[in-house]
Every structure is written in C-alpha cells, then in structure tokens.
Chains A and B, each alone.
Chain A
Amino acid sequence: MSGKNMEEKVEQATNSKNISLPVSRVRLIMKSSPDVSCINQDALFLTTKATELFVQHLALSSYKNGSGKETNTLSYSDLANVAEETETFQFLTDILPKKILARDYLKSLEEMEKDDENL
C-alpha cells in the first residue's frame, strides 16, 4: 500500500466509492421493508454497492451457465435456469419462473387429471 503513489490511491478511492446506482432509490426500497426504522449512511452505501456487485454476479453467472457461447446473447431463460440451479440465487425463483409452452402446460394438466382419476 505504501508503495503506491498518490495518483493511484486517488484513482482507486474514486473508483471504489464511485457507485452508479442512485442511493436515494435504494433507500426507498429499503424503507419499504417492514420493521425497518433507521438506516445508517454506511449501511446504505454498502447495500447500494452490494446490489451492484449482485447485478454483475447474476449477469455473469447466468451467461456462463447458459448457452451464451453459441448465441452470444444473455436471455431470460439463462436467468431462470441459474435461479433454479444455483443455491445462492434460489430466492429469485418466484420472480424468475421458468417459462414453458402453453401446450406443454395444458398437456401436463391433463396428465395430472388422469392420475387423479386413476387413484
């Protein structure tokens, strides 16, 4: 640390404290949580920064996990897949449900009804 010159330190500091997400918006979301009364400024900063790290982590994990190399596109299904397959993203399964074709869903409903009749 002591080897670094002033310029590097300043740059690193600005990059580290530089957050893109609006702190005010994050605060709004946090306040909507029940039982939360006060939020310390450092906590607000950390949550905002953590959210940015999360977005990066989710995007990259989904891309790596998906068929990205062939299509070169990150799609919704990549996200839904990673939510189901990765433990740390499982809290997202409700908002990132896997999509199935309507006809497949209807087919599985029919089969379920047949099973019920057989019982």
Chain B
Amino acid sequence: MLPSTAFTLLWSLALFTLASLSLLYILRCFLHFNMVKDEFLHHVGVNYLFAPWISWLLLLQSTPFFMPGSNYYLALWWFFVIPIVALDIKIYGQWFTKGKRFLSAVANPTSHLSVIGNLVGARAAAKMGWSDSSICMFSLGMAHYLVLFVTLYQRLPGSDRNIPAMLRPVLFLFFAAPSMASLAWNSISGTFDKSSKMLFFLSLFLFMSLVSRPTLFKKSMKKFNLAWWAYSFPLTALAIASTEYAQEVKSSTAHLLMLVLSTLSVVVSLILMVFTAFNTNTVLPKDDGLQSPIDTGSPV
C-alpha cells in the first residue's frame, strides 16, 4: 500500500507530463498543421490521435482530487470522450466505406488504440455510474474489436506493408485491448464475472503467445527507438486486469500471477524511462520515422 501522498505525487507528475505534452501538441497543431494532417492520413499515425484522450481519461479515472460522481469529473469526461467518438465516427466509417482506407488495407496492430479508446471511455463512464453510456462505448469498442481481431489474425496478403519491422512492439497492443475490455466490463457489471475473466484469459493467452516468440521482435530490439514504448501500456493494462482477477479469485496462483505481471510492467516502464533519458537525441529525429503513403512532402 503506497501512502496516499506518494500516490498523489505520482499522479501529479503524470498530470504534469501529460499537460506539457498536450500543450506541445496543441502548439504543433497551430504551427505545423501539415504534419498533423499527415499523421491523420497515415494509417498508423491516425490511431495515435486517440492516445492523448486515452491518457487523459486514464488520469481522470485515477484522480485523487475529486470523486467520480462530481461535476468536474462529469465535465471532463464529456470533454475527453467527445473527440474519441468523433474520431470513431470518422475512422470506423472509413473502414468500410472509403476505398483507399478500407480496413483490409489499413488494418494494423495500432488500430487497437481506437478500440482501447472506446473501452477506456466506457470504464470511466461506469465509474461515474452512467451505465448506459458505458455500455454504449463498450459495445462500440467490442464490435469493432471483433472485426479488427479477425482481420488482423487473418493477415491478408499485403497487410505486411502496414507495419515496418521497427514497429513490431505495437503487436503488444493485441493483448492490451482485451485487458481493457475486461476492466471495462468489470466496471460495468460490478464484479469480475465470467465475461471479464474470459477477456482477461484471452489477453493472457495472447501475451504468452507473443512472449514465446522473441524472434518477432529481434529486429526492432537492435537499437532503442520510440516504438519500444509500445511495450509499457499493454503490460500495465494486463497487470491491472490480473490485479482485479486476483481480488476476485483469491487463490495463490492468481496472486502470484498478479505479482509477476505487476513487477514486469513496473520494471519495463522504468527501463524504458532510463533508455529514453539516455537516448534523447535519437528519440526525436528530424523527421517522422513513418513515411506517410500520402506524404505531401511537408518541410520539417
């Protein structure tokens, strides 16, 4: 049990980081709108547009400063969920209507981020007690998760183009989505019931499946790159889900699992922070690592 001050400190640190990052991105929107547009048009970059909203929602859920039922919480929830829904409408609609951006052409593991966005919004809503909006977001997320899961598993020919080898760490997002879904359903139904357990087990299985294939990640692990941060969030989500699971099923194996996963996620996050600190010069290259297929050749 961390003392609450330590928790508040950590949370404030996270808030500060996120706030500064958001500010920087707002500046980028104003000053380098071309680059933002390019990100929007890129099949991988577009999914990361969900990332700030996800982060804000996660921060909102864990805030120590006001309770979930309060008006602040409500207002902020609306503020963060509306962009997610707007992006949903745009991107999911593109999946099955826009020729150049059909799902079969653009599907890649980072598309899970859109699903995760919905699920995080669902969880935040459920914590408020708004069951209908939470179920709405949840069903949105799960329906598209189903489609995405199948598409990614099929690995239709040509889909290899979508992920360069350096971005293989994003494969970890495969098990981030079911973990978040398990947590969301846990919040919606009140207990860690069978569906949550099933989602958690699916996530665990996918995690083990990926971890037992180190050769997949060999190429991307040769040198530190920003994609390594893709490891952190899924591991943390899985660890949180395992915590909920262990609380429900009070068995020794569950607790052991929780311990292992939590340790792993903390260690990985720390290592990533250290690596990033030592490699700040390489982390921010002159241009975006991704070459947009519809690159307009914007100057940096």
Whether both chains belong to one complex is answered with: no
Residues of A within 8 A of B (CB): none
Residues of B within 8 A of A (CB): none
